[in-house]
Amino acid sequence: MKILDGKKIKQEILDELKEEVSKLKNKPHLVVIQVGNNEASNVYIKQKAKMCEYIGYDYTHLKFPEDITEECLLSKIDELNKDKSVTGILVQMPVPDHIDTSKVQNAVSEYKDVDGLSDINAGKLFHNKDALFSCTPYGVMELLRRYNIKLEGMNAVVVGRSNLVGKPMGTMLTNAGATVTICHSKTKDLKKHTLKADLLVVTVGKPKLVTKDMVRKGAIVIDVGISRLAEGLCGDVDFENVKEKAKYITPVPGGVGPMTVAMLAKNVLKAYYLQKGE
């Protein structure tokens, strides 16, 4: 069993980006928009600020009150889309209920959508065109690439079908030549599917959903879920028991989480080049 160390790979990526950015005349500029004061959001935003500072990106955090109107928020996004000094725009989720999440994500210009969540960028991914990709599945792909894991011809099973991770993950694996099955809450006999997986990606948010008896010996197990239990953070996979059967496995924390931040950093630089027509 080998641990896929997202923390280590994240550091490698940030160091590569830092070096590249040091040679640029103008620094890429990330703007993070926050509505309200969600505790988890505060933590994630601090990570993003730290990442920008380390690489050398310019960084702006715009914080709006919980009761901002949707119209006012969309108008601010429009202003940032037109601002040539802004490279990437990220609206920190969740936003309050009176604001339409999809409307907000699609208001961000496709060239500044560093979260990779707009319909246009999702469509480009579907058509196997280069784009700004959703950071978490993109991070999984990069982690596998850096450990020289060849996906072509593999049976890949993705558990979870969210627009944020499950669906783009399935598409990325298909584009890489894997044979993909997507399972979800309506799937009958989940174990029957997971036992066929050479590569198993679990992204549901249910602690220890995947147990040892559900995993084929020698499988690669990627745990995207993270839950806070009394004994600490844990993923969707029963790590301690499953690791005995897996060839490779990601820990929680320290696996996919750090890769999400790393790929956001990569997307900011990618957006910078896209806007320059490079």
pLDDT tens figures, 235-255: 999 999 999 999 999 999 999
Are 27-112 and 135-256 equal in CATH topology? yes
Are 144 and 119 a contacting pair, CB within 8 Å? no
Mean pLDDT of the chain: 97
Under CATH, what is the fold of the domain 135-256?
Rossmann fold (3.40.50)
pLDDT tens figures, 164-216: 999 999 999 999 999 999 999 999 999 999 999 999 999 999 999 999 999 99
Which residue do the tokens 């099955």 mark?
A: 181
Q: How confident is the model at residue 231 (pLDDT cuts 50, 70, 90)?
A: confident
The reply to whether 78 belongs to the active site is no
Of the candidates 113, 115, 198, 236, the residue annotated as catalytic is 115
Of the candidates 10, 76, 92, 198, the residue annotated as catalytic is 92
C-alpha closest to that of 110 among 136, 94, 130: 130
Domain extent listing, the chain: 27-112, 135-256
Distance between CA 189 and CA 246 in Å, rounded? 21
| Overall average pLDDT of the 30-54 stretch | 96
The reply to whether 48 belongs to the active site is yes
Please list, residue by residue across 83-103, b when 16 or more beta carbons sit within 10 angstroms of its beta carbon and e when fewer do: eeebbbbbbbbebeeebeeee
| Overall average pLDDT of the 6-30 stretch | 98
Of the candidates 10, 34, 48, 238, the residue annotated as catalytic is 48
Distance between CA 16 and CA 8 in Å, rounded? 13
CATH class of 27-112: alpha beta
